[in-house]
Amino acid sequence: MKRIAFFIIGVLTLFSLFITLLFIDATQVEVLTVDPLTTKTLTFNLSEGDIFSGSLAISGGANNDINFWITDPQGNTILNLGRISQGTSFEFTAKNSGAYTLHFDNSFSIFSAKQVSLSYEIKHSFINNFILLIILGIISICVIIAVLMLILHRKKTPKEPHSNISFNHLRTI
């Protein structure tokens, strides 16, 4: 009985921990070198409603600059910051689910490679977290119900009486 209680507490504790982790968003950092006369991209799979926040730091060349824009899953430009010198911050909300691409263009520079540092955070939409939360809640409730049914089944199952009859006195003749 105590094992089952500990199991239920464990399941509920893990469920609570997972819920907490759903709402914690950590900042990530990507560092890339964009060679002269080239463009590099980074792609992020986002869900509808996700918020992408980022900041760029650029170094290299005379002006520490790069062209920067973002395209949505259909290839449409949703944010064009043009030529950025040294760095900037930006944010956008995903209108559709799919691959969003960040473009880092150094095609205007003939000699200098640029070092780009992207710090970003993705805040997942509440709707996606809410659906996941509902699914986890249903799973947790099913586990708890199954454990309770197991407990009730054990209590209702009659125990077989233990016989104290000794067969030592029966001997073959």
Locate 22 and state its tokens: 């759903």
d(CA 57, CA 63): 12
pLDDT for 97 beyond 80: yes
Domain total of the chain: 2
For residue 57, is it within any domain?
Answer: yes
Look up the CATH number of the domain holding residue 52.
2.60.120.680
Q: Are residues 96 and 140 in the same domain?
A: no
Give backbone dihedrals phi and psi of 21, rounded to 5 degrees, phi first: -65, -25
Instruction: Show the domain range for 134.
Output: 2-20+128-156
Tell me if 123 sits within 8 A of 54, measured CB to CB: no
Reported pTM: 0.64
Residue 32 lies in a domain: yes
At 32, the pLDDT band (50, 70, 90 cuts) reads very high
> Is 7 domain-assigned?
yes
Judge whether 110 lies within some domain.
yes
Confidence of residue 45 (pLDDT cuts 50, 70, 90): very high
pLDDT over threshold 90, residue 29: yes
Split at pLDDT 50, 70, 90, the class of 139 is: confident
- Is 172 inside any structural domain? no
- Residues 60 and 106 both lie in one domain: yes
Is 102 a domain residue?
A: yes
pLDDT of residue 13: 73
Q: Do 150 and 71 have their domain in common? A: no
State phi, psi for 127 to the nearest 5 degrees. Answer: -60, -45
> Taking residues 146-169, what's their average pLDDT?
64
Q: Quick one: 89 and 139 in the same domain?
A: no
141 and 119 in a common domain: no
